[in-house]
Amino acid sequence: MPRVIMFDEFGGPDVMQVVEEPVVEPAAGEVRVRIEAFAVNPLDQMMRSGTSPAIVPLPRARLGVEGTGVVDAVGPEVTGLEIGDPVILTAIPDASVRGSYAEYTTVPASRVVARPAGLGITEAAAIWVAYSTAYGALVEKAGMRPGDHVLITAASGGVGRAAMQIANQIGAVPIAITRHTAKKDDLIAAGAAAVIATDHVDVVEAVRHHTGGTGADIVLDVVMGPGQQDLLKAARPGGTLVAAGFLDPRPAPFPTSMPLTIFGYRSFEHTVDAVVVKRMAAFLNAGVRLGALRPAIDKVFALDDVVEAHRHLEKGLHAGKKIVVTV
């Protein structure tokens, strides 16, 4: 029988186990996907350890919010998809039940899009979460336009790297923020127009320097915490800040008198909206075709080594690049 990764209790990577389960027949409006590869995300780690903001019912919980594979079966009332079609999973909000850490999963047909031609399996497994988050925050929420100066925190992470590439594809100017000067060359190579290392320079002064004194038009903050105060000061009056992450769990005072538009953003906000997903898929296809969008892969593991993949993530050995597990 097909293999599935499950866990019965919260804890470290060792709580995950490989079990066998029969395949599920797709219901009306659903497709079954034979998974070829999936990416390991921080949300998976949070679900496994019991620190996820969403409830994860135990026992026999599954993991995995993104992946790629081929359509294996089609339920009644599904149109536009056929057995054998290569697809990307765009959203698995109930990952504890239908997660992609498996040889097969069954999802609503609206939760898959065609895999972009020219994108390898490992890259396809790792592209949706980071790129849809960055696209949704910058384009759908902030309305990023050509020429905008875009300040990107945690720029060496998956969302940060995606945000720089998306900004470049549109013609905006990505300014990367990192805590370490040693990452500057890597970030320039990844697409940053300028890099601000907070261990070396003052964020506000550096942003003013790189924007001709005006400040950033858009700030993408995937860190939060007290450091957000400097980002608010670095934005131009009338600019936009999108809070799209929570890497720093410390409290961040909510601004009440700043002349800015401030949005909160979570990726599932748009990835369950069929209209927006259609735009995301079109943008992604164009970027892949032009060579502008390409996820950075750190290391590839086999399904039997998924515990090691999570250990690799927890130790921070991936340096912000994506970890992929092939099935």
Top-confidence residue, 197 or 254: 197
Quick: pLDDT tens for 276-310: 999 999 999 999 999 999 999 999 999 999 999 99
Residues 6+ apart with CB under 8 A from 226: 248, 250, 251, 252, 253
Amino acid at 48: R
Q: Where are the alpha helices (DSSP H) in 136-227?
A: 158-170, 184-190, 203-210
Residues 6+ apart with CB under 8 A from 212: none
* CA neighbor of 219 nearest in space, from 110, 117, 120, 142: 142
- Contact, 41 vs 66, CB < 8 A? yes
Structure tokens that stand for 323 in this block: 């970890």
Beta bridge partners of 324: 39, 300
- Phi, psi torsion values for 104, nearest 5 degrees: -140, 150
**Is a pLDDT exceeding 80 seen at residue 268?**
no
Structure tokens that stand for 160 in this block: 């940060």
- Contact, 95 vs 89, CB < 8 A? no
CA–CA–CA angle 318, 320, 321 (5° rounding): 70
Quick: pLDDT tens for 79-94: 999 999 999 999 787 9
Average pLDDT in the 146-156 region? 96
The predicted structure's pLDDT at residue 91: 77
**Cα 24 vs. chain centroid, distance in angstroms?**
27
The predicted structure's pLDDT at residue 254: 65
Mean pLDDT taken over the chain:
92
pTM of this structure: 0.92
Q: Which of 6-10, 40-44, 304-308 has the lowest mean pLDDT?
A: 40-44
The predicted structure's pLDDT at residue 218: 98
Q: 131-268, what's its fold?
A: Quinone Oxidoreductase; Chain A, domain 1 (3.90.180)
Top-confidence residue, 99 or 318: 99
Residues 6+ apart with CB under 8 A from 90: 111, 112, 113, 128, 132, 271, 277, 280, 281
Q: 3-115+296-326, what's its fold?
A: Quinone Oxidoreductase; Chain A, domain 1 (3.90.180)
Could you give the 3-state DSSP secondary structure of residue 120? coil
Quote the percentage of the chain above a pLDDT of 90: 78
b/e burial code for range 137-173 (CB count within 10 A of at least 16 → b): bbbbbbebeeebbbbbbbbbbbbbbbbbbbbbbbebb
- Contact, 211 vs 236, CB < 8 A? yes
Quick: pLDDT tens for 211-221: 999 999 999 99
Top-confidence residue, 166 or 251: 166
- Contact, 122 vs 115, CB < 8 A? no
Domain with CATH 3.90.180.10 in the chain: 3-115+296-326, 131-268
Give the count of beta carbons closer than 10 Å to the beta carbon of residue 253.
9
